[in-house]
Amino acid sequence: MNYFSSQFKLGILGGGQLGKMLLTETRKFDIYTCVLDPSDEAPSKIACNEFTKGDLMDYDTVFKFGKEVDVLTIEIENVNVNALEALEKEGVKVFPSSDTLRTIQNKATQKLFYIDHNIPTADFVRFAYVSEIEDAIDNGGIQLPFVWKAAQFGYDGNGVKVVRSKADLKDLQDGECIAETMIPFKNELAVIVSRNAKGEVKTYPVVEMEFHPEANQVEYVICPARIPFKVANKARETALKVSEAFNHVGLLAVEMFQTENDEILVNEVAPRPHNSGHHTIESGYTSQFEQHLRAILNLPLGKTDYKVAGVMVNLVGAEGYSGDVHYEHIEDIMAMEGVTPHIYGKKQTRPFRKMGHVTIVNEDLNTARKIAEDVKNLIKVISQ
């Protein structure tokens, strides 16, 4: 099929920053794009050929949108999976598939999938209601502390909380959830796997993630991860095993823990471009966004090596500020060598909201990490 400068239409469910960055690549290839998002102010609106405002969880809206395109992909998991399944039956190519997405959408189902496929993951207990957790603590069914995760609709640190005492249970949203054993780990790692419909598979280098202690958000993504080759190889092999089990098409970001004794445990996955791959725009031969396009369109996959060491810093709204966004000291960071800011186009800031990211590239990883810290300390996302 001819995708370039043709009648072909690519549909994207979700119009956030991931969609916006994906659309940079569709522009490069002159691929016609249609985006569905509930917000009139979606970052992707300025970059697509057609924009439709609508609810991603509404069956009829998603089905009608999908019928107008040739290939349908996502930039957010919270979409109506039943509509995707119906579209597949009508001959629309949907990547990731409704089957893959249904499993991944629910964290409890996702964890059970790992158990069924002998993929190493932290022990967990599934609950229908938060109220059941207190009984489980009392009768010894689970031990404090543990990590509570809402089964559905969590994002960017929302829907995840470390529970150290029974008092921590009172603020949790009710509904299906899991209580996961806390893993003492050395590092949080991630590997992005790309796969096209022909079965060609490539992995990006292992990255290391440093988290904000309070917001449970990634502060720094470091490529390559500062770990021994043996550990990196085990992480890559684990990610490939997860990818094979899902048999996904597109990108699959696999987040993992490196334990104290260098075991690798899968934390969770995302079947789309991911925060842990943003650095590839500047540091890699093929950005994760271009690779996602290549994969879902069944084109040859691009080279995944990194050209230069890269560190990514998330730009999130500063605490105590809400309203019209202002980026303080952005010109100062642009004066630093190897520093590239990406502004997502969200007009309103609030504490810890993802507003952009900055990539720092350097021949030397330690130098890149130091500059990243300077960037983090200097730039502020505040309100006017």
Q: Is 149 annotated as a binding residue?
A: yes
Give the 3-state secondary structure of residue 81.
Answer: helix
Q: How far apart are CA 264 and CA 143, in angstroms?
A: 22
Q: Is 379 annotated as a binding residue?
A: no
Q: How far apart are CA 133 and CA 137, in angstroms?
A: 6
Q: Is 181 annotated as a binding residue?
A: yes
Q: Is 182 annotated as a binding residue?
A: yes
Q: How far apart are CA 33 and CA 344, in angstroms?
A: 19
Q: Who contacts 285 (Cβ-Cβ below 8 Å, separation ≥6)?
A: 302, 303, 304, 305, 306, 307
Give the 3-state secondary structure of residue 24.
Answer: helix
Q: Tokens 């509904």 map to which residue? A: 175
Q: Who contacts 261 (Cβ-Cβ below 8 Å, separation ≥6)?
A: none
Q: Is 115 annotated as a binding residue?
A: no
| Strand ranges, E, within 225-364 | 250-259, 264-270, 309-316, 323-328, 339-343, 348-349, 354-362
Determine contact, residues 255/276, Cβ cutoff 8 Å. Answer: yes
Q: Is 180 annotated as a binding residue?
A: yes
- Would you list which residues are annotated within the binding site? 107, 149, 180-183, 188, 267-268
- Would you list which residues are annotated within the binding site for ATP? 107, 149, 180-183, 188, 267-268
